[in-house]
Amino acid sequence: MTEPSDHLFRHESGRMVAALTRIFGFHNLALAEDVVQEAFCRATEVWAFRGVPENPSAWLMATAKNCALDTLRRERTARSYAPELGRLLESEWTLAPVIEEAFAPNAIKNDLLRMMFSCCHPQLAEEAQVALILHILCGFSVDEIASALVSTHAAIEKRITRGKKTLAKSKKLFDVTAPAEFSLRLPAVHTALYLLFNEGYHGANPEFAVRSDLCREAMRLTAVLLEHPLCATPGTNALAALMCLHAARLPARIDAFGNLSSLSDQDRSVWDQQLIAEGISLLARAAKGSELSEYHIEAAIASVHANARGIDDTDWAKIVSLYDSLMTIRASPIVALNRAIAIAQRDGPDRGIEEIQAITDRDRLRSYPFYWAALGEFELRSKRYETAHGHFRSALAVARNDAERHFFSQRASSARQNAVALSYYEPEA
């Protein structure tokens, strides 16, 4: 008896819903979801008693196909289906071959793409796009999305229901054969996948500081983009490179005690060398052409870290100049903060503090714990321990999960100990 591979149901759910929606039409998305539920029900029942079959994906697909045929025969006249397939589904002569074709491996790949691009509909807010992708393509339940994106069941449900309504209204499915439509919507797809990855990497989840399953999903969908000639642009390669290079560091972000570990303290020997190599080669492919996106720059920054043996061995001058470029493409207080941290590494902590003080919109960072943490580290290095302690306390006050709280409270007490120690040596200070 074999074991189903990790997340098999999640991944197959996305593939099946995408294929069925192509047949049923977007307005029948709920029907497609019902059919998938039924296929899973059968699988769970039969596999529990009989063991998991040799090729569980093929088994699920065949079951979904049969459920779809049953549904179409039963409700042939009660509903209207995908307009472009409508006539073919009406006749028993064409019905079976059309369904067969829709479930062919290549067709399913296109269905996944079509669904991904459809979810990034221009009328939907970015957070709605991300929620829909997680729900439809990654098979996350409403509760699982709410927990991953730190929201409530009701809020996510509303976001998804509204999103689906918008999609159902767009009569035409996204056309995967039209190059112009691809290039128009590709940036939105990049943004959604980037947000999905970041949510996993820097997520504000109260339970887990790192949600590697979100990162994995983002990487899986980016890989689908890379397989399509029209989507494998330099920007997509850069996005994929950025994900690989960051994901390579995931094993070190949480130390052996389950605590967050800063880049300077990370055990670099556990960085995933295979992912680093893949990231570097994707970055080389991204360099073909004249496009320079924010993903190119972020991936380049990650590659500098990946190539350094330690924090002191890092080419900080190069990182500063990359952040300068990033500021011209996508300026934000957080990018400016990261630039200030790189400048502190290159020119010393006091320069870092100056740079932070020069950030426009600095107020927007007050709820961001790593803003206070950066100030704390700079003050610590300048041996102003009391001030450092105060900053770490501020970071602690806005920390978003236990791992962050633990991390900042340790930094705060370390600063306090230094302050006490200093007062013994220099009682006048």
Residue 135 or residue 253: which is nearer to another protein going by CB?
135
Q: Which is nearer to another protein, 153 or 288 (CB)?
A: 153
In whole angstroms, the minimum distance from the beta carbon of 139 to another protein comes to 4
CB of 36 to another protein, least distance (A): 8
Of 10 and 416, the one with the shorter C-beta distance to another protein is 10
Write down the residue that tokens 């080419």 correspond to: 315
Which residues touch 255 (CB under 8 Å, ≥6 apart)? Answer: 261, 265, 267
Length of the chain: 429
Least distance in Å: CB of 131 to another protein?
Answer: 14
CB of 49 to another protein, least distance (A): 5
Q: What's the 3-state SS for 13-34?
A: HHHHHHHHHHHHCHHHHHHHHH
Q: How far is the CB of 426 from another protein (least distance, A)?
A: 57
Spatial neighbors of 256 by CB under 8 A, at least 6 apart, are: none
Say how far apart CA 244 and CA 274 lie, in whole Å. Answer: 9
Q: Which residues bind another protein (CB under 8 A)?
A: 1, 3-4, 7-10, 12-13, 37, 40-41, 43-52, 139-141, 143-144
CA 194 to chain centre: 5
**Among 242, 233, 240, 243, CA closest to 290:** 233
Q: Which is nearer to another protein, 49 or 257 (CB)?
A: 49
Note the Cα 236 to chain centre separation in Å. Answer: 14
User: Among residues 20 and 85, whose Cβ is nearest to another protein?
Assistant: 20
- Enumerate the H helices of 173-272 as residue ranges: 179-202, 212-226, 234-247, 250-253
Minimum CB separation of residue 16 from another protein in Å reads 10
Considering beta carbons, is residue 144 or 386 the nearer one to another protein? 144
| Measured distance CA(277)–CA(307) in Å, rounded | 10
